[in-house]
A and B are shown apart, each in its own frame.
Chain A
Amino acid sequence: DAKTTQPTSMDCAEGRAANLPCNHSTISGNEYVYWYRQIHSQGPQYIIHGLKNNETNEMASLIITEDRKSSTLILPHATLRDTAVYYCIVTAPMEYGNKLVFGAGTILRVKS
């Protein structure tokens, strides 16, 4: 699986958009980009994933560059409850499902 690089931490003002970058320059053609987050004392929560097109759901948007070497997770209107560790994961599906490898992630602090 391709390695990902994320900033250690970021701050965001409440109500503003939070843009979390991720570099995955060695991504291969069949690998997807996934984002999960983990709020303190809880298990990780799936946010979104994509292959090459931009994706949007009720939680966030995922922007993947044309060369697929980097991506950005966008939380359009961050709230205090979005304070969490955000993990960018790149992995290819296997026959029985995908295997996720979680790195250190980005600590996002949303401040009022």
Chain B
Amino acid sequence: DVKVTQSSRYLVKRTGEKVFLECVQDMDHENMFWYRQDPGLGLRLIYFSYDVKMKEKGDIPEGYSVSREKKERFSLILESASTNQTSMYLCASSLRTPGTPAVKWSYEQYFGPGTRLTVT
């Protein structure tokens, strides 16, 4: 079974702190994603990475950065945490679609359990 793990289920940080959220997947997936989930807003994509050291901005990248030094690990960094970054953070991974897609199973994203971050 694919397993995506996140470093913490619950985290409480103070305004202005630097926060690291870690995500690890064990299925050799090329793609990794960071989302946040807020009531009434659904899941929104923050950043994704399609290879080591590669990253692309999602829909709401402001206030966040990411790091992918190893294929299995994707880190989300809040440089200076603010109260409006209190949220549920979800990491996901998937295989990469090589050019014109032909293989169905490459589209499935596997999600971790989430980290509920509170910034006070």
Q: Which residues of A contact B (CB under 8 A)?
A: 32, 34, 36, 41-46, 49, 87, 93-105
Residues of A within 8 A of B48 (CB): 99
- Say whether, besides A46-B109, A49-B107, A97 and B50 are in contact (CB < 8 Å): yes
Q: Does B95 contact A (CB under 8 A)?
A: yes
Within 8 Å by CB of B108, from A46, A99, A101, lies A46
Check A97 against B95 for contact (C-beta < 8 Å). yes
B18 to chain A, nearest CB (A): 25
Most buried by A among B42, B43, B56, B90: B43
- Say whether, besides A93-B97, A97-B50, A46 and B110 are in contact (CB < 8 Å): yes
- Of B64-72, B73-81, B111-119, the segment with at least 4 beta carbons within 8 Å of chain A is B111-119
Residues of B within 8 A of A96 (CB): 30-31, 50, 56, 96-97
Dominant secondary structure of chain B at its interface with chain A? mixed
Q: Which residues of B contact A (CB under 8 A)?
A: 4, 30-31, 35, 37, 40, 42-45, 48, 50, 56, 58-59, 90, 92, 94-97, 99, 101, 104, 106-114
Check A43 against B96 for contact (C-beta < 8 Å). no
Residues of A within 8 A of B104 (CB): 49
Check B112 against A95 for contact (C-beta < 8 Å). no
Residues of A within 8 A of B40 (CB): 104
Check A42 against B113 for contact (C-beta < 8 Å). yes
In the complex, what residue of chain B is closest to A34 when comparing beta carbons? B107
Residues of B within 8 A of A98 (CB): 94, 97, 107
